[in-house]
Amino acid sequence: MFVGIVGGRYRRERPIDIFAKDFLIFLKDELSLKGDWMPKVKVLLCNDDTWTRLWDIQNRTIPGNPEEYMPMPDLNRQKWQGANGWVYRLINYDSEGRWIRPSERERLGALMRIGFNRVQAEDLAPFDAVIFLHTSRPIEAGEKGQPVAGIL
């Protein structure tokens, strides 16, 4: 029997989470998007090791599935190492095209299906989207002389 989500390692909002929340509100107005609620987002920083392990997870997402709507760019392991970030979306739509939150059971199932273990899935399931950032990329970009405004 499903017992509900008991995780909560990521419940505390940090400044980067608040930025993501504020920026989504800004984008909603800026892009004239309609919707009754705003997605709840978590931002997680990944070192090279975690980022490498995320490759297998992101590779199991299927464009067009309820959990992943946008087509993924043509990626391979090498390109993945050069990526700045990845966002996993747990958002669904009703028959009239309105954004809806999948149930806890659906979210937990979706996260475990793509490779998160149960503890990780319980921690991430409360969020509508999880932004994973590859922390090596700003350093690399700076070294190549590209303008870097920071992690935000």
Partner 1 sequence: MIAHECVHVMETLSGQIIIKGFDAKRSFEHPGVKELFKKFIDEMGTDEFKRRYLTAD
Q: How far is the CB of 27 from partner 1 (least distance, A)?
A: 5
Cα–Cα distance for residue pair 75/78, rounded to 1 Å: 8
Would you count residue 101 as binding partner 1 (CB under 8 A)? no
**81, 51 in Cβ contact below 8 A?**
yes
Would you count residue 19 as binding partner 1 (CB under 8 A)? yes
The mark string for 52-71 relative to partner 1 (x by CB under 8 A, - otherwise) is -----------------xx-
Q: 68, exposed or middle or buried, with CB in 10 Å at 0-12, 13-18, 19+?
A: buried
Which C-beta is closer to partner 1: that of 59 or that of 135?
135
Task: Name the nearest CA neighbour of 45 among 139, 136, 132, 146.
Answer: 132
Q: What are phi and psi of 20, to 5 degrees?
A: -60, -45
Pick from 58, 61, 89, 121 the residue near partner 1 by CB under 8 A: 89
Which C-beta is closer to partner 1: that of 112 or that of 129?
129
Q: How far is the CB of 105 from partner 1 (least distance, A)?
A: 21
Task: Name the nearest CA neighbour of 129 among 2, 17, 12, 7.
Answer: 17
Q: What are phi and psi of 132, to 5 degrees?
A: -105, 125
Cα–Cα distance for residue pair 151/20, rounded to 1 Å: 11
Pick from 14, 53, 77, 105 the residue near partner 1 by CB under 8 A: 14
For partner 1, the binding residues in 104-143 under the rule CB under 8 A are 129, 131, 133, 137-138, 141
Question: Which parts of this chain interact with partner 1 (CB under 8 A)?
Answer: 14-16, 18-20, 22-24, 26-28, 30-31, 33, 35, 39, 41, 43, 69-70, 82-87, 89, 91, 99, 129, 131, 133, 137-138, 141, 146-149, 151-152
